[in-house]
Amino acid sequence: MYRRVVVTGVGVTSPVGNDAESFWEALCAGRSGIDAVTAFDVSDFPTKIAGEVRDLDFTRYVDPKDVRRSDRAILLGLVAARMALEDSGLNLASENLERIGVIVGSGVGGLHTMEAEHIKLLDRGPGRVSPFLIPMMITDMPAGCISMAHGLKGPNYSVVSACASASHSLGDAFMMIRCGMMDAAVAGGTEAAITPLSFAGFCSMKAMSTRNDTPRRASSPFDAKRDGFVMGEGSGVVILEELSRALARGAKIYGEMLGYGATGDAFHLTHPAPDGEGAQGAMRMALASAGVAVGDIDYINAHGTSTPLNDKYESIAIERVFGEAAKRVNISSTKSMTGHLLGASGGVEFVASLFAIRDGIIPPTINYEDPDPECALNYTPNAAVKRPVRYAMSNTFGFGGHNASVIVGKYDG
């Protein structure tokens, strides 16, 4: 008999809000967090816009000494994890910490640190490179630092699967609690890739939008004029917990995690498989593991990156999986407001899916003006919609052909 898994705490740092409720309020209002890049000089870059996390004082949450010794990706994850733990009401002093794990993914890890220290190496020689370079840079360190900050001694690692990293982390944590390997987990993703080298690479691929004059309109998923994704940064972390222990301690429950699906395209480095074949498989697997029919899904938080092929093939995949129900389900891409948080996207979008269930509100896809005949579904254009949401699906797909779908449902006892 599988154990049931619920969500008892949430934490978010994002371009539209530095806590979960501010993030959600911005999404429901259709407010974009995309603007001109301030992190570095973008004069020579074709893309000059991004979704930056702003006005976040890390020292409110992390010891100033540790702030100086941590990459931005680590810090964003530490803040979101602390928020989630505090929100959960878990009293760690009375918990068996060997039964609480940390699975927090990142797509690229400590790029800020790697680039800064490489410049030191070239300009000033190897003796000036920081001894903290490696622990600040490696992708597993957000999970490691969260574990150390709170004394959590259960399973502890990072999933690295590009833009699917957070959803795979959530899925792993869900399965491990479900089968009894741990009782609770800090799970999600973090990313801080708004750096010169990252921008240069994505610009060379012509993957990012160049609508620099209208940054808040640049991310336009499923719209015919979409011209590429807009990079964002941040972290989305939740507390997953076995149901009976959550009830025993009187925890508030945001929802129940019910299903998880993961597949590989085995097709191309960056392009999704034709007709979203891998995405179809992930959605079908999630539905089967949840025991939920396609007609029961009320909301899909789509991957919806605002790139031509992703949006087309995700739409086709949803049509193939959902059949007639595809016309009735509300779909939206919250990346139209946050930008694409890469390895953290599945974490913040999981929170958005939970809050859609909690409040009965579907956040919109903003900047949807010119319908694309190859994307012919209900993308909840430009304004939030109130409707009861019992089950929600969140999709994330990554370079390398990594696909993940998760399903959450309303917990009503």
Q: What are phi and psi of 386, to 5 degrees?
A: -90, 125
pLDDT, tens only, 115-130: 999 999 999 999 999 9
Check whether residue 113 and residue 200 sit in a common domain: yes
What are the structure tokens assigned to 271, written together? 């392009």
Asked whether the predicted pLDDT for residue 211 surpasses 90, the reply is: yes
The answer to whether residue 244 sits within a structural domain is yes
Check whether residue 327 and residue 396 sit in a common domain: yes
pLDDT, tens only, 381-401: 999 999 999 999 999 999 999
Check whether residue 203 and residue 282 sit in a common domain: no
β-pairing verdict for 5-13 and 35-36 = unpaired
Check whether residue 47 and residue 187 sit in a common domain: yes
The answer to whether residue 38 sits within a structural domain is yes
Question: CA–CA separation, 235 vs 110, rounded Å?
Answer: 14
Residues annotated as catalytic (active site), given as ranges: 163, 303, 340
Check whether residue 187 and residue 307 sit in a common domain: no
Check whether residue 234 and residue 286 sit in a common domain: no
Last residue of a domain, one of 228, 248, 268: 248
Check whether residue 76 and residue 35 sit in a common domain: yes
Check whether residue 266 and residue 382 sit in a common domain: yes
Interval 330-340 mean pLDDT: 98
The answer to whether residue 221 sits within a structural domain is yes
Helix (H) or strand (E) holding 391: strand 391-398
pTM: 0.97
Interval 55-77 mean pLDDT: 96
Last residue of a domain, one of 190, 217, 248: 248
Give residue 378's pLDDT band: very low, low, confident or very high (50, 70, 90): very high
What does DSSP assign to residue 335?
A: H
Check whether residue 237 and residue 315 sit in a common domain: no
Interval 128-142 mean pLDDT: 96
Asked whether the predicted pLDDT for residue 1 surpasses 80, the reply is: no
The sign of the torsion formed by the CA atoms of 392, 165, 277, 364 equals positive
Q: Which residue segment(s) compose the domain that 270 sits in?
A: 259-409
Check whether residue 63 and residue 111 sit in a common domain: yes
Last residue of a domain, one of 248, 272, 295: 248
The answer to whether residue 306 sits within a structural domain is yes
Q: What is the CATH number of the domain that holds 127?
A: 3.40.47.10
Question: CA–CA separation, 60 vs 53, rounded Å?
Answer: 15
The answer to whether residue 83 sits within a structural domain is yes
The answer to whether residue 253 sits within a structural domain is no
Q: What are phi and psi of 94, to 5 degrees?
A: -115, 10
Check whether residue 48 and residue 101 sit in a common domain: yes
Check whether residue 220 and residue 279 sit in a common domain: no
According to the model, what pLDDT value does residue 413 have?
Answer: 81
The answer to whether residue 254 sits within a structural domain is no
Q: How many domains does the chain have?
A: 2
For 227-292, the three-class secondary structure string (H helix, E strand, C coil) is: CCECEECEEEEEEEEEHHHHHHCCCCCCEEEEEEEEEECCCCCCCCCHHHHHHHHHHHHHHHHHCC
The answer to whether residue 324 sits within a structural domain is yes
